[in-house]
Structure 1
Amino acid sequence: MILSRRRSRGWTNWSGTVRCEPSHCAHPVTVEQIQAEVLRTAEEGQRLRVIGSGHSFSPLCWTDENHLALDRFTGIESTDFERKRVWVRAGTRLGRLVEHLADRGLALATVPSHRGITLGGALATGTHGSGAHLGNLAAQVTGLRLICADGAVRTVSSDQDPDLFHAAAVSLGALGVITHAELQCVDDHRLAVTCEAMTLAEMLERLDQLQRDHRHCEFLWFVHTDTVVLRRFDVTDALPTLLAPVKHVLRRGAHALMFRGMAETTRRLPALTGAFDRLTARMIHGCTDVLHARDVDSDLWCGRFQQLEYALPATDLAPVLRALAMLIKALGIRVHFPLQVRFVAADAHWLSPHYARNSACVAVPAYPDMRFDDYFAPIAELFERHDGRPHWGMIHELSAEQLRSLYPRFDDFRALRRRCDPRGVFLNPYLATLFDERLR
């Protein structure tokens, strides 16, 4: 089969905040075609970045040379029903993956909230769902296949080349092209999805108990009020009603449109922000749905936005949120979106924001056309004072020196990257700065 490679018409990320004009974009359908494109790029002394759905807000995929899109390299290749494991092609969108697994009687233990992203992109950036006892998506990976700069296909796991495995599981695309991931699954199941409102103080007081009692917990904080909306997801034997999926989709859509309307209005009339926060918080709680796991979609946002997110030590969440409330009030910041707080268990992957510690992840969204420096910068500074680690797909300005202090295996990753890709085939200017490397 002939490799589809065409001159690029330009590329932009989902939020419209990153744009580039690569010289070519290849769309391989086989491993051999991916190998050929990597070797061509290396032999011509050029660089290559893999693109997925474009949902990263940071310039991970920016290049003026070569893009490689895995949108034609998708699907589940094999299933081990006895061990409940599947090998999946990296271009597969998470929404399709969830459906394919359900057809096999399987599910993921936790799924990131946005299902339009690709498996490869979600792994590369350490993307996660929520559950104090559940890791991010990469924590469910038991094996990886990647193509290195020399064109070699490497299969790695915690038993087979464990250093490369733990480096590649969350690698920002800097070690090679991840072509496949083996995922540890669970039996397909149903979830009871419940929303309830409470004060921030009550939320923080009950947090430990809530995390013990419920499989998944997350909450939205309407920062100009003292109100949070808790969302919890629990495995249940109850059967969903016939209309439950429809009700869930309609309710989710109504909530998303409500957030959008609130944000649009308060952006133009900032004085109404507090009133809209209070109104919206009262309107979205007090519901319970029973759904098949495949039908649960926890993505609440409607429309495009940009976002900052840091993974904080879970024990620091309460003082950080209290300080954040005082900071927003002191600076007079008008926040158009609620803040989202999720929880992720520790893992062993070198560049995972959750490496060796349990995390509370605080996401701060804003409009793409909003002047966000004055908003994001002081909040990021607060998070960084508490050893917050940035989500790799989100906005941050940390240097290699700062990252080194946050990630104990940061220099180990840099050394391994040089061995795997000494000429920097998979680097771009952003990654070169991030890893304190010189582009050759």
Structure 2
Amino acid sequence: MGDFGVEAKGVKQIKFTNWSQTFSCEPNLYFVPKDVEELREIIFLAKSTNKKIRVVGCGHSPSDICCTDDYMISLRFFNNVLSINCETNTIRVEAGITLTEINAYLDSHKLAIPVLGSVSDITIAGVISTGTHGTGAKFGVLADYVLDMELITTSGDTIKCSRDENSDVFLSALSGLGAIGIIIRLTFQCEPAFLLYEYSYPSTLGEVLEELDEELKSCDHYRFLWFPHTDCVSVQNNNRIYNKEVTKYTASQRACNWFWDYAIGYYTLEFAYWLSTYYQPLVPYINRIWFWLLYSRPKERINISHKVFNFECLFKQHVNEWSIPREKTAKVLLELKSWIERTPNIYVHFPVEVRFVKEDDIYLSPAYGRDSTFINIIMYRPYGKDVSHSAYWDQYEKIMKESGG
């Protein structure tokens, strides 16, 4: 046990707010330890003062999981690459490094992470602790690519674990929400760098569900976006491609892309949804118009893998995502669509994002023991203004629970 001089390094009156600005807290003390010994001293201090600890990353979680009235720890100084092995395609990193930093480092060594989610401005420890995932029937949650890790427990001990050493600790800490200990280092399995060919095209919900099994077999990374209050779907088909060049755009093409992606797809959409907070029946028209403006024509491009995996998540939002057995996909989506259509005064934003993940053996993973479909619903907060969403959330969760969510 230390002399707790570390208490003086804790900062008071810090307010933490998550990215969506849906949850905030003011921890009793906020710490940014420089090394493992300082981190261990904070743990001892917390035990002696009967305080709980929450470790925070970049705050992208839509939940209040990081919020605490006790001690909050940021591992932003634990952001180093410790080693890389281009023969085994592995990288060893500290827990506070972000995926953005890892992607840049891997680019310079002609390696890549096999699959990514929508954003990379998140820490690697946060990614693996929360079941973060991308899409692809042959690809697991990102935690499934961790080979080994070190964590510090509440006793201050450092535990090394993997599938071969302390396997129960390892499989519990992966997707463990930080409950097992504080992750400090890990080794991640990568693969040789690759490009992705993205082909997106319009379809209907009925067609997509009818062809789903074949599409999942033929596509590396398949997902689709359904636009509620319509039958419209945007399918996004991403496949590995080699010996090709990244799509080049002229200055005028880049300006045109910015106009549609941001002037229309971001700023005008936020204004339209803000208007709809005063007259909600506008929402179905907004969903239909924006599908026609941005998603009604096929598009294609080739780019570095992480630049295709990552996705513009637009402005502040409430989100709710559950996983279900893959074979329940059509049942759940059709039930949700039917409920929206027959329920008066229910107006929901686009998209409903649907992604697919391979089963794993991680104890607390949403994909434990079953090939899974992740269905993500959303309600935006235009200019920070909250919108009614409790009835939508309740019915969605009821439908998901009934199908094993």
Normalised by the length of structure 2, the TM-score is 0.90
Q: Distance in 2 between matches of 1:45 and 1:283?
A: 56
Select 2:85's aligned residue among 71, 75, 80: 80
Equivalence for 1:32: 37
Q: Distance in 1 between matches of 2:270 and 2:132?
A: 24
Equivalence for 1:255: 265
1:299-319 CA-partner distances (Å, limit 9, x unpaired): 232111111111011000001
Aligned AA for 1:59? D
Alignment of structure 1 residues 212-251 onto 2, 5 Å: 212-237=217-242, 238-243=244-249, 247=254, 250=258
- Alpha carbons 1:113, 1:299 under 8 Å: kept: yes
Alignment of structure 1 residues 158-169 onto 2, 5 Å: 158-169=163-174
1:265-295 CA-partner distances (Å, limit 9, x unpaired): 4333322222222222223231101101242
Aligned AA for 1:189? F
SS in 2 for 1:212: helix
Q: Distance in 1 between matches of 2:184 and 2:250?
A: 36
Equivalence for 1:356: 369
- Alpha carbons 1:267, 1:336 under 8 Å: kept: no
SS in 1 for 2:11: strand
Match status 1:317 vs 2:340: no
1:147-177 CA-partner distances (Å, limit 9, x unpaired): 0001111110000111110000111111111
SS in 2 for 1:6: coil
Equivalence for 1:407: none
Aligned AA for 1:378? Q
Aligned AA for 1:14? W
Equivalence for 2:316: 304
Equivalence for 2:404: 387
Select 1:346's aligned residue among 342, 359, 376: 359
- Alpha carbons 2:95, 2:186 under 8 Å: kept: yes
- Alpha carbons 1:244, 1:290 under 8 Å: kept: no
Match status 1:65 vs 2:70: yes
Equivalence for 2:155: 150
**Per the alignment, do residues 356 and 135 of structure 1 end up closer, same or farther by CA in structure 2, a change over 3 Å counting?**
same
Equivalence for 1:264: 274
Equivalence for 1:437: none
Alignment of structure 1 residues 37-436 onto 2, 5 Å: 37-237=42-242, 238-243=244-249, 247=254, 250=258, 252-253=261-262, 255-257=265-267, 259-285=269-295, 286-332=298-344, 333-368=346-381, 369-388=386-405
**Per the alignment, do residues 305 and 129 of structure 1 end up closer, same or farther by CA in structure 2, a change over 3 Å counting?**
same
Equivalence for 1:426: none
Q: Distance in 1 between matches of 2:146 and 2:269?
A: 34
Aligned AA for 1:384? K
- Alpha carbons 1:144, 1:169 under 8 Å: kept: no
Shift of 1:58: 2.1
- Alpha carbons 1:216, 1:234 under 8 Å: kept: yes
Q: Distance in 2 between matches of 1:299 and 1:113?
A: 5
- Alpha carbons 2:359, 2:368 under 8 Å: kept: yes
1:76-95 CA-partner distances (Å, limit 9, x unpaired): 11112211111111111222
Q: Distance in 2 between matches of 1:283 and 1:378?
A: 30
Q: Distance in 2 between matches of 1:35 and 1:103?
A: 34
- Alpha carbons 1:259, 1:337 under 8 Å: kept: no
Q: Distance in 1 between matches of 2:74 and 2:257?
A: 30
Aligned AA for 1:312? I
Equivalence for 1:410: none
1:402-438 CA-partner distances (Å, limit 9, x unpaired): xxxxxxxxxxxxxxxxxxxxxxxxxxxxxxxxxxxxx
Aligned AA for 2:283? T
**Per the alignment, do residues 9 and 96 of structure 1 end up closer, same or farther by CA in structure 2, a change over 3 Å counting?**
same
Shift of 1:8: 3.6
1:241-268 CA-partner distances (Å, limit 9, x unpaired): 3338985973654534465344334333
Give the length in aligned residue pairs: 387
**Per the alignment, do residues 8 and 180 of structure 1 end up closer, same or farther by CA in structure 2, a change over 3 Å counting?**
farther
Aligned AA for 2:354? V
Equivalence for 1:398: none
Q: Distance in 1 between matches of 2:393 and 2:28?
A: 33
Q: Distance in 2 between matches of 1:274 and 1:371?
A: 15
Structure 2: tracts of 5 or more residues without a match: none
Q: Distance in 2 between matches of 1:29 and 1:82?
A: 31
Aligned AA for 1:376? W
Normalised by the length of structure 1, the TM-score is 0.84
Q: Distance in 1 between matches of 2:211 and 2:35?
A: 51
Q: Distance in 2 between matches of 1:23 and 1:341?
A: 39
- Alpha carbons 2:57, 2:74 under 8 Å: kept: yes
More relative contact order, 1 or 2 (CA 8 Å, 6+ apart)? 1
**Per the alignment, do residues 60 and 24 of structure 1 end up closer, same or farther by CA in structure 2, a change over 3 Å counting?**
same
